[in-house]
Structure 1
Amino acid sequence: MATLAAFSSFFFFFFLVTFASADTGKVGINYGRVANNLPSPEKVVELLKSQGIGRVKTYDTDSAVLAALANSDISVVVAFPNEELSKAAADQSFTDNWVQANISKYYPATKIEAVAVGNEVFADPKNTTPFLVPAMKNVYNSLVKYKLDSNVKVSSPIALGALQNSYPPSSGSFKSDLIEPALKPMLEFLRKTSSYLMVNAYPFFAYSANADKISLDYALFRDNPGQVDSGNGLKYSNLFDAQLDAVFAAMSAISYNDVKVVVTETGWPSMGDENEAGAGAANAAAYNGNLVRRVLSGSGTPLRPKDPLNVYLFALFNENQKQGPTSERNYGLFYPNEQTVYDSPFVSTSGNSSSTPAANKSKTQVPVSGGGGGDVSPSAAGQTWCVANANAGEKKLQAAIDYACGEGGADCRPIQEGATCYDPNTLEAHASYAFNSYYQKQVRKAGSCDFGGAAYVVTQAPKYGKCQFPTGY
């Protein structure tokens, strides 16, 4: 059966990541692996390279992953686990051994550029906060010992939950109980080592919890009236900038406004529960696409206009074993089978240009939107087709085929036994043909390529054997 992975390479994106002139920010991606159905690390590296993705952040130091990334020219942020913080804080020899086994062993063939010591430690229910800064210092000292400190930074991602106040941005402040024991020592360490603060920022959470108060356009970087900060008069056109400036204001309040910031996680889920307002493929495509354009513009936030934004999108794959609401398992840009979860209007560049984004307009890919939403305008975006989402499961796919071929009015004669599109005789291939027939008969109108999440839109003709998918009736 032909894979749909090839469909993704023509439009997706990162372009970005390797594209970074001195005047623009950088974009990377988080490679989470809380799933039992992901491709091998070798295939993941192939996917990253095929998309031009030059920066990746992991959540551990898995040997297979780091070995696969060797000689790929992909920059890597690795993670030191929360559960080992107490050992790292208490014993320099422990971090010496850890650095030897997890950094020295792979560097420089694997371009490890930073160690994230812990992840959102302040929110860790096991109260590992007291160990954080001592652990960071010991990891750094171990890097110094092995002469890696000039190439590998040490930091730790914090969540926006570390803020006591975040609105308006100018009133941003850290929780008082974190300032003296943790934040000041950490920021002082980052300053002395010329490192940066890692911040995980999700406008989705703020919007979903306050959809009655926050404009969706404001959350998705779309045109909107904006908001003026009553404290300093600065105008904000999007929630992401406002969240970051709340962090900058909090840092400035304790005299660390010279420390740089990298957004190590941000994203928008393509699916969620009924109470998760805003979750959906079209919104995810809009958020990530518009954020990337925002980063490539080279401009900073209203409070730090001269500091380009550097971000890592969350995440590379949907992760089926993550706990929590449905959204937690649906942040991926790709399904585990390497199909794209949704199409998104990203800019593709050569990866080594030093020109501005405007100079690369000739490389802009055809914009499409909302896999599963089917809301692509053929006149604006060219021909589109509807294909099955193999991850929807056999039961959902079969039910959707029954509907499409029954009351939906799709022409399913070509997938009957002995007919022209019977081979390959697989549920995915037959479902894709049926869904596309329905979609084309509906004149590709919004919502006609959905089937409850069992289908999504692509912009290259599906290839299943010798079958020709129709483009109209």
Structure 2
Amino acid sequence: MAMAASHTLSFFLILLSFSASSGAGSIGINYGRVANDLPPPSKVVQLLKANGITRVKLYDTDADVLNALANSGIQVVVALPNELLSSAAADQSFTDKWVQANISQYHPATQFEAIAVGNEVFVDPKNTAQFLVPAMKNVQASLAKHNLNIKISSPVALSALQSSYPPSSGAFKSELIEPVIKPMLDFLHQTGSYLMVNAYPFFAYEANSNKISLDYALFKQNPGNVDSGNGLRYMSLLDAQIDAVYAAMSALKYDDVKVVVSETGWPSKGDSNEVGAGADNAEAYNGNLIKRVSTGSGTPLRPKDPLNVFLFALFNENQKPGPTSERNYGLFYPSEQKVYEVPLTAADASKAPANVSKNQTPAAGEPAASPSRGQTWCVANGKSAMEKLQAALDYACGEGGADCRPIQPGATCYNPNSLEAHASYAFNSYYQRKSRGTGTCDFGGTAYVVTQPPKFGNCEFPTGN
């Protein structure tokens, strides 16, 4: 890695422990096992403990895993899988037996934090959504028989939203609201539980890389996006996604239900068409997310509610179907070796260049920081105030030293003759000359990085490659 080649993953995972134990919010990790080369559960628990991980989320109730987690001090979220929902909804005795076999016999040595009833049922091709709330209620009743105080929720994908942009327009799909969403939120409200949300900025960026800034997706320096509905400024895509869910719940009058991000992550490898997949971006996303959570601040819509997040995932899982990215979300290889690097100590982390936006224009002659990998370009934020954009353009073409000859009258990139187009060309010239260094595409919040070639008429934007 360009910025952290001398560091190891240890502090990254120490930070997981820090944020989980402080009042700042919490970070856990998803322990998926769709693989044939993973270490045994006993070694996995040693790995978790050695790195200070205190919360783990499973996708089943495997006996070997639950026994291995006994007396470890690790909080556990387990799952009742989708294929059992119809049985759990239909028969209280089924959930009585399930709780007895999978929960109560391991308690209290294994510390259960929550049960995820189903997973992304709204996109389940077997149409299990109708069974969700009855199953949740039966599981709750069965837990009560054993005097077990364990939260019950169900992870939903962002695809359950009919609208998510801007965040203030967040709304659930109308066909889901009365049959499932409102009954589920009512259950969560009554039981004091939270809504689990699987949120992946990677997917949104991959599908809209020509519109979404990579820095915005990775919690890096960026001008942010102002929500036209409520005037709030968003500095990261994940914050916007979470607030879209909060807005959707608020529209249904469930303002007191909290959100836990039950899955989020970034793949360290992908297919050629999976824009943004790569180890550098995965390192940046997860590392900056850890810092983000540890600050204790909430989202713009819920600033007093610290973020609680489960990273996806502990290991690369070699048997997951789908594109290459699906098998490359892990922090560890099955060998227990780290996939990418992060700062080793708190002191090193504090010395590392800040990734969070400061909205500062680089000074003339500023040395290039670590260069971005791959082809990227710098373009103007067309939503910026014209005066601010003009001032940034003047700086780039003046003391910034950008090559602005191609945007002069009669030159190759003069047309289209617009402030946004000309500023984009000048900003990109500066950015490329500075080796695409961190902080060299900001210009007082009027610019951001893109990974697709900018399109302004027939003008070709140079790269530093």
TM-score, L = length of structure 2:
0.73
- Structure 1 residue identity aligned to 2:269: M
CA distance in 2, matches of 1:289, 1:22: 18
CA distance in 2, matches of 1:343, 1:220: 16
Displacement after TM superposition at 1:102 (Å)? 0.4
- Structure 1 residue identity aligned to 2:309: V
CA distance in 1, matches of 2:20, 2:42: 25
**Given the alignment, which residue of 217, 222, 225 partners 2:223?**
225
Displacement after TM superposition at 1:13 (Å)? 1.6
- Structure 2 residue identity aligned to 1:128: T
Matched, 1:179 2:177: yes
Matched, 1:156 2:173: no
Displacement after TM superposition at 1:146 (Å)? 0.7
CA distance in 2, matches of 1:210, 1:301: 22
CA-based RMSD: 2.0
CA distance in 1, matches of 2:158, 2:339: 27
CA distance in 2, matches of 1:242, 1:207: 13
Partner of 1:412: none
Contact 2:8/2:343, CA 8 A, preserved across alignment: no
Partner of 1:471: none
Matched, 1:333 2:345: no
Partner of 2:258: 260
Per-residue CA deviations over 1:200-224 (Å, capped at 9, x if unaligned) read 0000000000000000000000010
CA distance in 2, matches of 1:367, 1:49: 27
Alignment of 1:131-150 (within 5 A): 131-148=131-148, 150=149
Partner of 2:75: 75
- Structure 2 residue identity aligned to 1:173: A
- Structure 1 residue identity aligned to 2:152: V
Given the superposition, is the C-alpha separation of residues 320 and 147 from structure 1 closer, same or farther in structure 2, using an over 3 Å criterion? same
CA distance in 1, matches of 2:231, 2:19: 34
Q: Secondary structure at the match of 1:13?
A: helix
Partner of 1:236: 234
Matched, 1:64 2:64: yes
Per-residue CA deviations over 1:84-105 (Å, capped at 9, x if unaligned) read 0000000000000000000001
Alignment of 1:85-164 (within 5 A): 85-148=85-148, 150=149, 152-164=150-162
Partner of 1:34: 34
CA distance in 2, matches of 1:170, 1:64: 44
- Structure 1 residue identity aligned to 2:208: N
CA distance in 2, matches of 1:280, 1:173: 32
**Given the alignment, which residue of 182, 187, 190 partners 1:189?**
187
Matched, 1:200 2:227: no
- Structure 1 residue identity aligned to 2:82: N
Partner of 2:446: none
**Given the alignment, which residue of 317, 320, 330 partners 1:319?**
317
Contact 1:117/1:154, CA 8 A, preserved across alignment: yes
Matched, 1:291 2:289: yes
Given the superposition, is the C-alpha separation of residues 142 and 245 from structure 1 closer, same or farther in structure 2, using an over 3 Å criterion? same
Displacement after TM superposition at 1:367 (Å)? 6.3
Contact 1:9/1:50, CA 8 A, preserved across alignment: no
TM-score, L = length of structure 1:
0.72
Contact 1:344/1:367, CA 8 A, preserved across alignment: no
Contact 1:345/1:366, CA 8 A, preserved across alignment: no
Q: Which runs of 5+ in 1 are unaligned?
A: 1-6, 349-360, 369-379, 382-445, 447-473
Given the superposition, is the C-alpha separation of residues 112 and 18 from structure 1 closer, same or farther in structure 2, using an over 3 Å criterion? farther
CA distance in 2, matches of 1:267, 1:239: 13
Contact 2:233/2:300, CA 8 A, preserved across alignment: yes
CA distance in 1, matches of 2:79, 2:8: 29
Contact 1:334/1:341, CA 8 A, preserved across alignment: yes
Contact 1:75/1:112, CA 8 A, preserved across alignment: yes
Partner of 1:45: 45
Partner of 1:439: none
Q: Secondary structure at the match of 2:12?
A: coil
Per-residue CA deviations over 1:105-129 (Å, capped at 9, x if unaligned) read 1111011110000000011000000
Displacement after TM superposition at 1:234 (Å)? 0.3
Partner of 1:453: none
CA distance in 1, matches of 2:131, 2:269: 36
Alignment of 1:357-376 (within 5 A): 361-362=346-347, 364=349
Count of residues paired in the alignment: 351
Contact 2:19/2:293, CA 8 A, preserved across alignment: no
Contact 1:18/1:54, CA 8 A, preserved across alignment: no
CA distance in 2, matches of 1:367, 1:106: 43
Displacement after TM superposition at 1:318 (Å)? 0.2
Per-residue CA deviations over 1:378-434 (Å, capped at 9, x if unaligned) read xx99xxxxxxxxxxxxxxxxxxxxxxxxxxxxxxxxxxxxxxxxxxxxxxxxxxxxx
Q: Secondary structure at the match of 1:12?
A: helix
CA distance in 2, matches of 1:172, 1:166: 4
CA distance in 1, matches of 2:207, 2:108: 44
Displacement after TM superposition at 1:19 (Å)? 3.8
Displacement after TM superposition at 1:17 (Å)? 3.2
Q: Secondary structure at the match of 1:262?
A: strand
Q: Secondary structure at the match of 1:99?
A: helix
Partner of 1:16: 16
- Structure 1 residue identity aligned to 2:51: Q
Per-residue CA deviations over 1:288-338 (Å, capped at 9, x if unaligned) read 000010000000000000000000000000000000000000000000000
Partner of 1:424: none
Contact 1:120/1:156, CA 8 A, preserved across alignment: yes
Q: Secondary structure at the match of 1:28?
A: strand
CA distance in 2, matches of 1:268, 1:204: 6
Q: Secondary structure at the match of 1:44?
A: helix
Given the superposition, is the C-alpha separation of residues 112 and 129 from structure 1 closer, same or farther in structure 2, using an over 3 Å criterion? same
Q: Which runs of 5+ in 2 are unaligned?
A: 1-6, 354-368, 371-435, 437-465
- Structure 1 residue identity aligned to 2:310: Y
Displacement after TM superposition at 1:345 (Å)? 3.6
Contact 2:86/2:135, CA 8 A, preserved across alignment: yes
Identity %: 71
Partner of 2:243: 245
CA distance in 1, matches of 2:112, 2:170: 33
Per-residue CA deviations over 1:122-141 (Å, capped at 9, x if unaligned) read 11000000000000000000
Matched, 1:301 2:293: no
Given the superposition, is the C-alpha separation of residues 73 and 363 from structure 1 closer, same or farther in structure 2, using an over 3 Å criterion? farther
Contact 2:9/2:340, CA 8 A, preserved across alignment: no
CA distance in 2, matches of 1:39, 1:260: 35
Displacement after TM superposition at 1:257 (Å)? 1.2
